[in-house]
């Protein structure tokens, strides 16, 4: 639930206007292919990136260090604001939607003003700008999922291991290759090592491996959601392709 909620908060069209059914009633065209504005953001941007640059997509662009500064800033904000952050993230995406999606960020004109025969044509410059923003938002969403899940785990009485410097937040400070010093990383790593000098290494390594797998699964789930594969989205898409007629 949290993964889908936070992912939705960072997909601008999931906060679209009811007047145009979240962009489903606005037709766009890119490279000769028509789709709704909703589908372009929900599916086409991701698919075009995968098809055009598969090496880039699968080559580690999602490494958590790419969002290092934002991660720590958002982590501090979460400690201060707690669940109020959900509202702020939604407001952030809604503002982006109005200023950079419903409004062409290159020309400064409303998309509706650029319709030709009821279709808005997306050029390469706008596609590249939206693509960069989409990738950035996916990274931010993944980092914020980690922050929230880490807060949930931290507040559970799950044992002292979660307080010994191997929580999700500490992945930001790890080197690219594992070294014997990995058990000492984290805000409380030094004190944990002093108390458990003979046991922390293997335990921390095992927990970091588990965290790595968890973050990987989180990213895959967010990616699937952005590709618009859920049953509700498919049903709505089929309905609108049929002209909204009931069956």
pLDDT class of 147 with cuts at 50, 70, 90: very high
Residue 247 confidence (pLDDT): 41
Kindly state the average pLDDT of the residues 14-35.
93
Q: Cα angle at 156 between 154 and 159, to 5 degrees?
A: 85
Strand partners of residue 57: none
**153 or 29, which is more confident:** 29
Are the C-beta atoms of residues 34 and 28 closer than 8 Å to each other? yes
CA atoms 171, 174, 179, 185: torsion sign: negative
| Helix segments in 66-199, DSSP class H | 68-81, 84-100, 124-154, 189-195
Residue 169 confidence (pLDDT): 44
Kindly state the average pLDDT of the residues 215-223.
67
- Distance between CA atoms of 161 and 166, rounded to whole angstroms? 8
Cα dihedral 45/48/53/59 (nearest 10): 50
**236 or 150, which is more confident:** 150
Give the distance, in angstroms, between the CA of residue 136 and the centroid of all CA atoms in the same chain: 8
**161 or 219, which is more confident:** 219
Kindly state the average pLDDT of the residues 120-126.
96
pLDDT class of 58 with cuts at 50, 70, 90: confident
Residue 183 confidence (pLDDT): 40
Mean pLDDT of the chain: 76
pLDDT exceeds 80 at position 229: no
Residue 56 confidence (pLDDT): 76
Closest among 85, 83, 68 to 170, alpha carbons compared: 68
pLDDT exceeds 60 at position 240: no
Residue 2 confidence (pLDDT): 87
Q: What is the pTM for the complete model shown?
A: 0.62
pLDDT exceeds 70 at position 47: yes
Are the C-beta atoms of residues 182 and 205 closer than 8 Å to each other? yes
């Amino acid at each position: 639930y949290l993964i889908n909620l936070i992912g939705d908060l960072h997909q601008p069209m999931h906060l679209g206007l009811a007047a145009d059914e979240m962009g489903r009633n606005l037709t766009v065209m890119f490279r000769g292919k028509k789709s709704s504005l909703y589908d372009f953001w929900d599916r086409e941007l991701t698919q075009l990136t995968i098809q055009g640059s598969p090496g880039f997509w699968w080559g580690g662009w999602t490494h958590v260090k790419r969002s290092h500064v934002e991660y720590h800033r958002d982590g501090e904000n979460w400690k201060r604001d707690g669940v109020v952050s959900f509202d702020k993230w939604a407001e952030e995406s809604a503002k982006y939607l109005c200023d950079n999606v419903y409004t062409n960020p290159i020309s400064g004109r409303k998309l509706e003003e650029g319709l030709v025969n009821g279709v808005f044509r997306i050029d390469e410059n706008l596609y590249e700008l939206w693509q960069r923003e989409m990738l950035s938002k996916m990274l931010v969403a993944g980092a914020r999922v980690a922050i929230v899940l880490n807060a949930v785990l931290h507040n559970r009485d799950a044992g002292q291991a979660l307080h010994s410097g191997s929580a999700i937040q500490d992945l930001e400070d790890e080197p690219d290759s594992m070294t014997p010093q990995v058990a000492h990383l984290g805000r409380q790593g030094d004190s944990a090592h002093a108390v458990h000098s003979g046991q922390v290494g293997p335990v921390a390594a095992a927990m970091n491996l588990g965290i790595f797998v968890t973050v990987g699964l989180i990213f895959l789930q967010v990616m699937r959601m952005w590709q618009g594969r859920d049953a509700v989205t498919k049903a709505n898409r089929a309905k609108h392709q049929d002209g909204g007629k009931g069956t």
